[in-house]
Amino acid sequence: AKNIERGTVQFYQTNLPVQMEGILEIESSLRKAIEHDEFVLHYQPQIETKTGVIHGAEALIRWESPTRGLIPPNVFIPLAEETGLIIPIGEWVIEEVARTIRSLKKADIILPISINLSIRQFYQRNLVERIETILKRYDVDPSLITIEITESMAMDAATALVILQELKALGVKIAIDDFGTGYSSLNYLKQFPIDYLKIDQSFIFDILDDRDDRDITDSIILLGHRLNMSLVAEGVETKAHVELLRGMHCDILQGYYFSKPVPKDALIDFITTYEHT
Ligand code: C2E
Ligand code: CA
Ligand code: CA
Ligand code: CA
């Protein structure tokens, strides 16, 4: 079909080698990034709607490349997935979160932290043992860890169920991320041991003006509560978002209204000042 349009062929011919070179280049610098410790975690606080206290934080990775600058995860995580480099990168994330929980504990702060897994990591062999080993090494209570997966990662429902049950047996919590955007089957919701449903930000952004988004969010909250899950709203940017979601009894709020994802030291500042107000 590509031959039909001459312009398209020319476009691919001139651009493909450039793109390929770019990808290979990024892949090799991604390898170096692991060796040279160029990744950092930022943390975004999550707030309990009813009490206003800090519930926990989500760890979000950033790549601080000395040559390319700050690269967001949406750009390099898919590439890390493709190349398999997500396994060592993901392992670093878990270890860094464990280190953070331990160092916060020394400052008398007990903070649950959520970790995003990507699909390759989720289905890697010995995932649960690897997590267990790291948590033991840093003396971290597994109940302080929440593992976030997306609906599409659970497409192989039978295998996903086994892994999730092992994670639950270890004592970590499970969250379904970006809920409402993947191929959900309501059937897996009742089978899987899920603690948190995170309502995707695409429903939250227009929630004040869009009746459909409001109704969908309302229904997700009702459904989640019926199934004994806690609801987390992402992308909470305004006071009006907070008020509306409070009225809908959404349990936990996360978004720029409270804080952007920030480095560990800024998170500690946030926690200490937030508790005093
Ligand atoms: P996500 O897990 O859905 O993370 C939420 C994203 O929304 C984050 O983008 C966060 O900075 C952004 N966000 C939070 N509050 C607001 C808000 O109020 N308004 C707006 N407009 N955005 C908000 P970020 O940090 O760029 O991460 C993007 C995605 O990259 C994440 O989406 C997640 O899928 C992936 N990711 C991040 N860290 C990791 C990681 O350590 N491992 C893996 N596998 N994936 C990660
Ligand atoms: Ca997430
Ligand atoms: Ca999300
Ligand atoms: Ca998202």
- Digit-coded pLDDT (tens) for 168-197: 999 999 999 999 887 767 888 889 999 999
Distance, in Å, from the CA atom of 28 to the CA atom of 55, rounded to the nearest integer, reads 38
Q: In a mutational test of the pocket of ligand 1, which residue from 116, 124, 242 has the highest number of ligand atoms less than 8 Å from its CB?
A: 116
Percentage, residues of the chain above pLDDT 70: 91
User: CB of 46 closer than 6 A to ligand 1?
Assistant: no
pLDDT of amino acid 8: 39
User: CB of 145 closer than 6 A to ligand 1?
Assistant: no
Check residues 256 and 30 and name the one with the higher pLDDT. 256
Percentage, residues of the chain above pLDDT 90: 78
Q: What is the pTM of this model?
A: 0.92
pLDDT of amino acid 19: 56
Distance, in Å, from the CA atom of 200 to the CA atom of 196, rounded to the nearest integer, reads 12
User: CB of 237 closer than 6 A to ligand 1?
Assistant: yes
Q: For 6-21, what is the mean pLDDT?
A: 45
User: CB of 180 closer than 6 A to ligand 1?
Assistant: no
Mean pLDDT, the chain, as a whole number?
90
**Distance between Cα 113 and ligand 1 center (Å):** 14
Q: What is the number of the ligand closest to the CA of 58?
A: 2
pLDDT of amino acid 187: 81
Q: What is the number of the ligand closest to the CA of 178?
A: 3
pLDDT of amino acid 13: 43
User: Which residue's structure tokens are 């107000």?
Assistant: 277
3-state secondary structure of 59: strand
Residues in the chain: 277
Q: What is the number of the ligand closest to the CA of 91?
A: 1
Q: Which residues of 220-259 are buried (b: 16+ CB within 10 A; e: fewer)?
A: bbeebeeeebbbbbbbbeeeebbebbeebebbbbbbeebb
Q: Which helix (H) or strand (E) holds 146?
A: strand 145-150
| Alpha carbon nearest to ligand 1 atom 35, residue | 73
User: CB of 235 closer than 6 A to ligand 1?
Assistant: yes
pLDDT of amino acid 6: 41
Q: For 28-50, what is the mean pLDDT?
A: 95
Please spell the DSSP secondary structure of 188-249, one letter per residue: HHHHS--SEEEE-HHHHHTTTT-HHHHHHHHHHHHHHHHTT-EEEE----SHHHHHHHHHTT
Report residue 272 as tokens.
């200490």
Each residue's pLDDT tens digit, 263-275:
999 999 999 998 6
Q: For 135-141, what is the mean pLDDT?
A: 98
Q: In a mutational test of the pocket of ligand 1, which residue from 177, 234, 237 has the highest number of ligand atoms less than 8 Å from its CB?
A: 234
Report residue 108 as tokens.
């008398």
